[in-house]
Amino acid sequence: MFQAAPIAGAAALAFADWAPPLPVEWVGTANFEAIVRDPVFWQALGNTLVYGLGTVVPGLAIGLGLALLLRGQRRGGTLLRGAVFLPAVVSGVATALVWGWILNPRFGLLNTLLGLVGIQGPAWLQDPRWAMPALIVMGLWNVGINVIVYLAALNAVPRELQEAAALDGAGRAGRFRHVVWPALGPVTLYLAIVNAIGAFQVFTPTYLLTSGGPDSSTLTLALYTYQNAFTYGRLGYASALAIAIVLVLVALVALQFRLAGRRVTYVGTDG
């Protein structure tokens, strides 16, 4: 009721023009045709892709690196894992407000630290050149889920395979390249897909800190859809945007499977 009904309603509204309290007016595919001609949509799509590329690939690398460091950590291991995972359970609004203080150009923590070494920090969220990189850094702070999943996957790598590789003369780097990394293939593909979906849903930091600015440099698809629905009152067009986002995600996931699916090795299977 709380998921299927809104999805069905949005799918129907995508073919209508509705600005409450006016009645619904069916317009066919006019909303989708307007999306193709909408330059703001393409800018928002480009910004979202940049954010995704800046958070998904580095996020996987950072998550795997931290998992390798934390694996087998006995002294303080539980505390460190909890600290790494903590950002994943903190409210998104609280996280955005904390980062807003850190990146404040006048009294923010980051510019204060840069000033101690003689560097004048930029206006991170007010400069079009730095706003998106600042959002990407915020996104990379939340890699705790990647770390926990990679830790579980590392513990599931068959120890006998690593021992056999060591007996064959493989060093630590060789064991990781030929044994550990292939075993992590399915988990990496899963995390890449989940993180890409999450990147296309980024909303809270852009809504609270930048409102899509400056100069629409941080306007994402989720924020643009929200603006059309609740700021401009174009519920039909916003529903069409939501459907378009789903189609883009389906195409992106299909591309990920096509590029990485054949290279993924499932340990314990014949595939």
pLDDT in tens, 107-149: 899 999 999 999 999 999 999 999 999 999 999 988 989 999 9
Note whether 225 and 203 are within 8 A (CB). Answer: no
The per-residue pLDDT of the chain, averaged, comes to 88
For range 234-248, the mean pLDDT: 93
In-domain check, residue 241: no
- Phi and psi for 233 in degrees, rounded to 5? 70, 25
Question: Residue 271: its pLDDT value, please?
Answer: 44
In-domain check, residue 250: no
Question: Residue 194: its pLDDT value, please?
Answer: 93
For range 248-256, the mean pLDDT: 89
Note whether 227 and 212 are within 8 A (CB). Answer: yes
In-domain check, residue 263: no
In-domain check, residue 177: yes
Note whether 203 and 220 are within 8 A (CB). Answer: yes
% of the chain beyond a pLDDT of 70: 94
Using the predicted structure, report yes or no on whether residue 268 has a pLDDT greater than 70: no
One-letter amino acid at 216 equals S
In-domain check, residue 10: no
Question: Residue 174: its pLDDT value, please?
Answer: 80
Using the predicted structure, report yes or no on whether residue 229 has a pLDDT greater than 70: yes
In-domain check, residue 35: no
In-domain check, residue 251: no
In-domain check, residue 256: no
Which of 59, 57, 84 lies closest to 70, judged by CA?
84
For range 138-166, the mean pLDDT: 86
pLDDT in tens, 12-33: 999 999 877 788 899 999 999 9
Question: Residue 58: its pLDDT value, please?
Answer: 96
Using the predicted structure, report yes or no on whether residue 253 has a pLDDT greater than 70: yes
CATH number at residue 154: 1.10.3720.10
Q: Is residue 225 exposed (0-12), middle (13-18) or buried (19+ Cβ within 10 Å)?
A: buried
Question: Residue 270: its pLDDT value, please?
Answer: 47
Distance CA 201, CA 51 (A): 11
The total of structural domains in the chain comes to: 1
For range 171-196, the mean pLDDT: 87
- Say whether the peptide bond before residue 23 is cis (omega within 30 degrees of 0): no
For range 188-198, the mean pLDDT: 93
Identify the domain containing residue 88 by its residue range: 45-228
Measured over the CA atoms of residue 189, residue 270, residue 172 and residue 160, the dihedral's sign is: positive
Q: What is the CA radius of gyration of the chain?
A: 22
What is the token pair recorded at 181? 């990394």
% of the chain beyond a pLDDT of 90: 59
Distance CA 213, CA 229 (A): 18
Question: Residue 238: its pLDDT value, please?
Answer: 94
Question: Residue 29: its pLDDT value, please?
Answer: 92
